[in-house]
Structure 1
């Protein structure tokens, strides 16, 4: 498929197709221009980071720990640790476990970051299906038809930016409100950023002369104006605008390349590479919200061996995000939310795995979020408890915390709750059920 048809199809689908690249022969972590400003002026922040644990994570092995009584406990919630291995950093409880290569992984993370971490436990997803659970987690609505919160934030604060919403996976429906940049291919960015070069890293290997390039751009602009003048339907006009935003977005990708490390992290944790691209795009002023994604949590068999290393990847990714952001001068200018489709069942099945369970947790950190706090909770078998909406204290006459309560608070934090677009996608909460989950 040639580039013109590629962009046309992507744009008509509401997409701008770009992705990160790795440039060989450069020092890891080095930037092409160390004198670049810490953040471009196009968008002042914060960057919104949504980290999706695809498949349904197990918060009883993370931030809502439930240990076993010992190796012979027939009803142990977890075999990987016992109740006496549950410790606390401030108000945040966690199991003090790790892997053979990193035995203190949990303790290191929670001791370092508990002051900025807020945990919501006993979150009722009202579903144990992958699609519905993921949709509920990231849009605030169980039924279909709502864009992700990341998409809404990008639509309000950066609709015209060609890379305002960058996604590596997870629930990233936009309902056509903003162009979404999906970044699954890590080798395409240079060619899209420099489509006029035979070799994207050689500025002299041009397909066309400078004069011819100017004529091509003028012809494209003229064609755009003719199309907009003849099309009357707003939907078609929007598609035309998205198509040309995708084309002109190559200039924005050149900005992105200025902020990328000379070589992206090539280690075993894919979150690190995603984070490097996210921070570069934010510093370049072209991205407002991003989906980070790591899968493999649907552990119906051999749960402990398969699940816990992936949870450690999440902790490593979060630590890497804060470390890199601080080094780049933007450590106080982003919000990160970490969640999943749902939780895992209490105890184990016949194959030492865990199945789907509707109760889960959400972890959040960053600008405007008070840390060292746990809201909500679950009983010893990971059933959601009821909470008084006003006092957030456990109450038999209270209600379950649901994603809609979380999203109402996050919309307010993002400054989009009063925007006209939210009328199309309302979060319905009765006055007596409203919860302040961020205070």
Structure 2
């Protein structure tokens, strides 16, 4: 069969994307429409947020700090740990933080690194210690960015740099099949699907304008042209390439999704994310997140506002988001690393405050945080010693933060060693050190725990969850 050489590159790209995505249609690398039923919007009973800190974070500044009075410079040859808090910005505290007791809660069992909390800041993530579990001493088994990131996204050790398995968000929506227009959004974070229909795929966006484009009624003839191409594609294959895609049932999927797409677009969901509008609702969002009167809202605070809106409006069940970057700092950049970390943590604090202060409609007295599970992670950590360039390199031992529904709170599980912060072997039932019979904590255990917290099948991880962290 002869190729149709009049086929445009854009059209070919569209057909390829449609064949691979099935539930959401892509044009090039930019999502342009979500296919879903437009019913009365209702929040999911259980929501999930996966927060990625890009580049490998310094755990001494974050969730695994050390006392600088104990781990002093004159003991470095013995401990192989140098907190280095005095080498950061003057606005960063020089000691780990134990947050003040929250009214109605027990005192904090968690000590935080100085980038998580600043007593002069308005939004302090550490103030929400009573919703948190910190897991320390996670062995990433890799020092490569791509591998570590994909390991935490899927809960499966990659093959080389290639991801293996579905993203945890895909597992969640694939198993729960939520009745929301866009079950999963991935904002500047990778997403994978190896066993679910396309309806479980994430709507991928790299900036806020992508999401607005995906949900906005078109002002051009682009949609009708794309529809015409798929109608042709569904009826009469027009090339060998198109015929090959037809085997995957793209035309059938399109036929069943076309009406749903029109309904979603007619719902004008894009207005929910237009925080620049002169409405009371948009003004409240700008006030809560410290946003300006005009967009785009692509900074950390704007992205956090997008997450809250998607969950509270019943638009999405899962949002995966990159909330901080600039952390791959090897050369004398302790200050920028600490400030970038703090910016991400402050935005996360705004999100938690918003969800904590918003009543959930399904149970009297509950807030959205009672129905939301949050995982905060990075691909690995930084070395506990500074290098010759006064920076920190890649380190195997990691930690993560779990918050919200289905999890124990105000808890620390596991530990890193007091020599070079090596990953400790622990009793996986208790988190206590067990040098004889203990095991390493792996990202697999974290993902199994997240899935088990909602009663979902975690067998894809091939490990048991950390059961002492489950409520």
TM-score, normalization: structure 2? 0.71
Aligned to 2:171: 152
Aligned to 1:60: 60
Residues 19, 245 of structure 2: 8 Å contact kept:
no
In 1: Cα distance, 2:218 partner to 2:212 partner: 11
Equivalent residues in 2 for 1:88-237 (5 A)? 88-89=98-99, 90-96=108-114, 104-105=120-121, 108-110=124-126, 112-143=127-158, 144-158=163-177, 163-175=182-194, 177=196, 178-198=200-220, 236-237=248-249
Deviations along 1:309-352, whole A, 9 cap, x unmatched? 12112221221112232454342321111001011112100111
- Superposed CA RMSD in Å reads 4.1
Aligned to 1:412: 452
Aligned to 1:382: 421
Equivalent residues in 2 for 1:230-249 (5 A)? 236-237=248-249, 241=253, 245=257, 248-249=260-261
In 2: Cα distance, 1:392 partner to 1:115 partner: 19
Q: Which segments of 5 or more consecutive residues in structure 2 lack a partner in the other structure?
A: 1-7, 33-38, 88-92, 100-107, 277-285, 361-367
* Alignment CA distance shift 1:242-1:436 (3 Å): farther
Q: Secondary structure at the match of 1:365?
A: strand
Q: CA deviation at 1:295?
A: 1.8
* Alignment CA distance shift 1:71-1:262 (3 Å): same
Q: Which segments of 5 or more consecutive residues in structure 1 lack a partner in the other structure?
A: 21-36, 199-206
Aligned residues: 396
Residues 16, 163 of structure 1: 8 Å contact kept:
no
Residues 252, 286 of structure 1: 8 Å contact kept:
no
* Alignment CA distance shift 1:45-1:19 (3 Å): farther
Q: CA deviation at 1:98?
A: 7.8
Aligned to 1:367: 405
* Alignment CA distance shift 1:307-1:299 (3 Å): same
Q: CA deviation at 1:405?
A: 1.5
Q: Secondary structure at the match of 1:118?
A: strand
Residues 446, 466 of structure 2: 8 Å contact kept:
no
In 2: Cα distance, 1:411 partner to 1:322 partner: 20
Q: CA deviation at 1:123?
A: 0.7
Residues 260, 280 of structure 1: 8 Å contact kept:
yes
Q: Which of 254, 257, 260 is 2:273 aligned to? A: 260
Residues 41, 180 of structure 2: 8 Å contact kept:
no
In 1: Cα distance, 2:417 partner to 2:434 partner: 13
Q: Secondary structure at the match of 1:63?
A: coil
* Alignment CA distance shift 1:3-1:233 (3 Å): closer
Aligned to 1:31: none
Q: CA deviation at 1:434?
A: 6.7
Deviations along 1:144-191, whole A, 9 cap, x unmatched? 421111121122223886632211123422236332211114334445
Aligned to 1:33: none
1:302 corresponds to 2:332? yes
Aligned to 1:203: none
Q: Secondary structure at the match of 2:400?
A: strand
Residues 151, 174 of structure 1: 8 Å contact kept:
yes
* Alignment CA distance shift 1:342-1:319 (3 Å): same
Q: Which of 293, 315, 324 is 1:286 aligned to? A: 315
Q: Secondary structure at the match of 2:399?
A: strand
- Compare 243-252 and 118-127 and name the one that shifted more: 243-252
In 1: Cα distance, 2:470 partner to 2:135 partner: 10
Q: CA deviation at 1:55?
A: 1.1
Aligned to 1:400: 440
1:8 corresponds to 2:8? no
Q: CA deviation at 1:234?
A: 9.7
In 2: Cα distance, 1:393 partner to 1:291 partner: 31
Residues 169, 292 of structure 1: 8 Å contact kept:
yes
Q: Secondary structure at the match of 1:131?
A: helix
- Compare 216-225 and 406-415 and name the one that shifted more: 216-225
TM-score, normalization: structure 1? 0.76
Aligned to 2:282: none
* Alignment CA distance shift 1:290-1:339 (3 Å): same
Residues 133, 409 of structure 2: 8 Å contact kept:
yes
Q: Secondary structure at the match of 1:86?
A: coil
Residues 59, 65 of structure 2: 8 Å contact kept:
yes
In 2: Cα distance, 1:97 partner to 1:159 partner: 36
